[in-house]
Structure 1
């Protein structure tokens, strides 16, 4: 499988931002360093002078010692004129209050770190973000889990995940002889509403599709689809079949719980191994679609008894020492895809040497999420679809674009691009239909062939 290309942080705009970060610990410090490297004006608030001095010595940031949830401290830091205030301490309640106060002072955007899933439950009757006037709640555990789940689905899926906040997925299919699409042009194919083909790979050549693209057996088709429409794609490109994967997870960490939730809609067969009996019992009650097993996944006999070597993927999501041992065992036993999480990015090279396919760091995952959210760049290259020349671009629709206030069906077949997703009123994204009307000021996710970026920028007035 092709390697995931890194998310590109926009560097073309000279409009650097004024950012205040409350909390200079592992997460806040990582975000501060990344934004300072971008050229943003960063102020870090923390109660620890030692921590602040370290950040000031190593990065181009301003420091302010004080209580980040204090209105006076935030006022002195310049919250009223800040483009964004990011509350990243280790205490949920402090972060919520901090973001709320910053919003009341006039900060452009507010983000608050929360660790407890209570604040992130989409099924809850209480919208905590709205209640505390926070533009975005973020969790290091959930950010890491989403990155892992996206990597399991498709190497380019994370770009879509970040754009749509989990409401859209990118999935790859191989066209089979007994699928409905075989031999048909895309214009003839009855695709479910909320889905769109964004790339086709035939043998070693990939391309952007048009309405007249005819599908053949063996083609690799990449589709974006609203998450509640995934099941409707079954049987279109391949035969109706059980595509559920067998996934083994070592460690019952919060990130592991979020991974299980992210994969729930796919119906994958998930086995989660947890050595702590009370925690295993808690997870069994919470995750009723997961087989929770009280056992040590670093023990060779457990690997053999539970047939872990037969899994399609192995995820090491516990503490670093267990992750290294269990992932090494999985690699030795021939599991085809082994991924691990680490709290120490310095361990990544060593884990790669063990044969781990992909290593994820919480601080890196959440840092990319933060940068993606606060970035208001009119043009941002995100990723490429592996094996094709198709590039994913996040682009803001300018007021002078000829595409505004007209339905997508008016876009010619020779436009050299596919609009894969569009922002909506909920600040999430959806796959637009032919009658969708583009609105100036909003962002869209565009798939286009490399080398046509200038044409696309001109078309969207994204200068």
Structure 2
């Protein structure tokens, strides 16, 4: 498959890494020659320096025989024009564009992206994806990470283990014996800053951060076993009334359970706009780092505080101050991946990385057939992959114990028909089954090979 990626920033670079590892023919375009050099040196990709929206630049990148264009530059307008040129001049069949401005995303203007108007097949909104991720975290408040698979039937939970966790110092295989009906599988463990896929004989220790697959109906029991009892959230404070903060507040208002939400915004005009757009949410104008304002917002009694301003440091400091004031849960929006290791030390319960959520969403739309979903874990340290078993796959017709999964990969769940099963050695994978795999980044290419990833299937 020939793919052109426009934009060699963090999002474009990671998409190029994933797709080039799958033996696709990838070309990256950017105006910054240094970013192009970095991509071509580190990845198996070609590079073109120039404006992605210029026909001659797209031509040099091979648009005449491209199967897909992904427009992920920092400019919405460049991304839109790039898709238009790719369609009109080069007849590229599939176009994906990242659009940030909410002005382009209103549902009443959805006809804008029709083929006979502005031909974009998939529009990705980082702000909407981040808002979805925040709401996902709020649905599992005692976790630092959360994602759903198999149409909501399976959840991946990130859980930080404390001293009072009953599962400590116990081999993982023994947990299966202690809780035989529990569907949970520990797929990943981060210890002393290093993430790894555990063996059945490995034990868990206080301070570990674990990634657990569990059936949706078993979430409460899973959290309780790992020392995280579920609590109902009634009071939530949001800091930042940008597109993300406003979207989260609007969704909380739509929920049937009554949630007392307060929204803090520093910019007066933006605060007034948010107040007009919301019905039950109390909007406060002021600095989210102000102790007096946080007190007025009810932070000491808050079940959760969500800091989603455009400044990483503000988000981090606001969460630290909120936790010190008594907030039970703190979620921070953090763009800089180098700051993520600080989250635990600062007592911040969860972080949202826009780059990771955007990359996951774009890859979800790129892959066809056998790979149905993908979630990037940590700083692209690992992936959770949902895929369908094909008749040509090396794993079809074989029992789990007979499949040579790479060392850093674990099978988390198998869906047969509409039923989600916990994997065991005798379970046989058949054509049409849907599986979810946790894989360390270095083992993803081998996992893709087991799924029979080939250009023939695109």
Secondary structure at the aligned position of 1:288 is classed as: coil
SS in 2 for 1:137: strand
Matches for 1:60-71 after TM superposition, within 5 Å: 60-71=44-55
Q: 1:306 to 1:256 in 2, by over 3 A?
A: closer
Q: CA deviation at 1:452?
A: 7.6
**1:20 Cα deviation from its structure 2 partner:** 1.0
Residue of structure 2 in register with 1:356 after alignment: 348
Q: Which residue of 2 aligns with 1:79?
A: 63
Cα distance in 2, alignment partners of residues 287 and 452 from structure 1: 52
Partner Cα separation in structure 2 for residue 309 and residue 53 of structure 1: 50
Q: CA deviation at 1:147?
A: 1.3
Q: Distance in 2 between matches of 1:298 and 1:337?
A: 17
- Measured in 1, the distance between the counterparts of 2:328 and 2:233 equals 15
Matches within 5 A, 1:424-463: 447-451=420-424, 455-460=428-433
Q: 1:337 aligns with which of 326, 329, 344?
A: 329
| 1:124–1:67 Cα change, 3 Å | closer
Distance 2:426 2:109 in 1: 41
How far is 1:312 from its partner? 1.5
Q: Distance in 2 between matches of 1:322 and 1:453?
A: 51
User: Which of 117, 123, 139 does residue 153 from structure 1 map onto?
Assistant: 139
For 1:111, the equivalent position in structure 2 comes to 96
SS of the residue 2:182 aligns to: strand
Tell whether the 8 Å contact from 1:129 to 1:137 is kept in structure 2 after alignment: no
Structure-1 residue corresponding to 2:297? 306
Residue of structure 1 equivalent to 2:364: 372
The question of whether the paired residues in 2 share the 8 Å contact of 1:81 and 1:108 is answered with no
**1:381 to 1:457, Cα distance in 2 relative to 1, 3 A:** farther
> Which one of 263, 271, 275 corresponds to residue 272 of structure 1?
263
1:222 aligns with 2:216: yes
Cα deviation digits, residues 118-154 of structure 1 (max 9, x gap):
3222344635355422221012222222112112224
Answer whether contact 1:171 1:223 (CA < 8 A) is retained.
no
Please, which runs of 5 or more residues in structure 1 have no aligned partner? 1-16, 173-201, 209-219, 225-242, 384-390, 402-415, 421-445
Q: Is the 8 A contact 2:391 2:431 kept in 1?
A: no
Structure 2 CA distance for aligned equivalents of residues 206 and 363 of structure 1: 33
Distance in 1 between the 2:385 and 2:24 partners? Answer: 25
Structure 1 residue 86: Cα displacement:
0.5
The Cα of 1:398 is off from its aligned counterpart by 6.9
Q: Report the counterpart of residue 279 of structure 2 in structure 1.
A: 288
Aligned-residue Cα RMSD (Å) equals 3.8
Local SS of the residue matching 2:341: helix
Report the CA distance between 1:38 and its aligned residue: 4.8
Q: Pick one of 20, 37, 46 that aligns with 1:53.
A: 37
Query: 1:418 & 1:310 partners in 2: Cα distance?
Result: 45
Distance 1:370 1:301, change over 3 A: same
Q: How many residues align?
A: 341
Q: Quick one: distance in 1 between partners of 2:155 and 2:35?
A: 43
Partner of residue 206 from structure 1, selected from 182, 206, 211: 182
Unaligned runs of 5+ in 2: 157-177, 185-213, 219-231, 376-383, 397-413, 435-450, 453-458
Structure-2 change in CA distance of 1:86 and 1:352 (3 Å): same
* Contact 2:364-2:374 within 8 A present in 1 as well: no
Residues 288 and 134 (structure 1), Cα distance of their counterparts in 2 relative to 1, 3 Å cut: same
Q: Does 1:259 align with 2:248?
A: yes
SS of residue matched to 1:364: helix
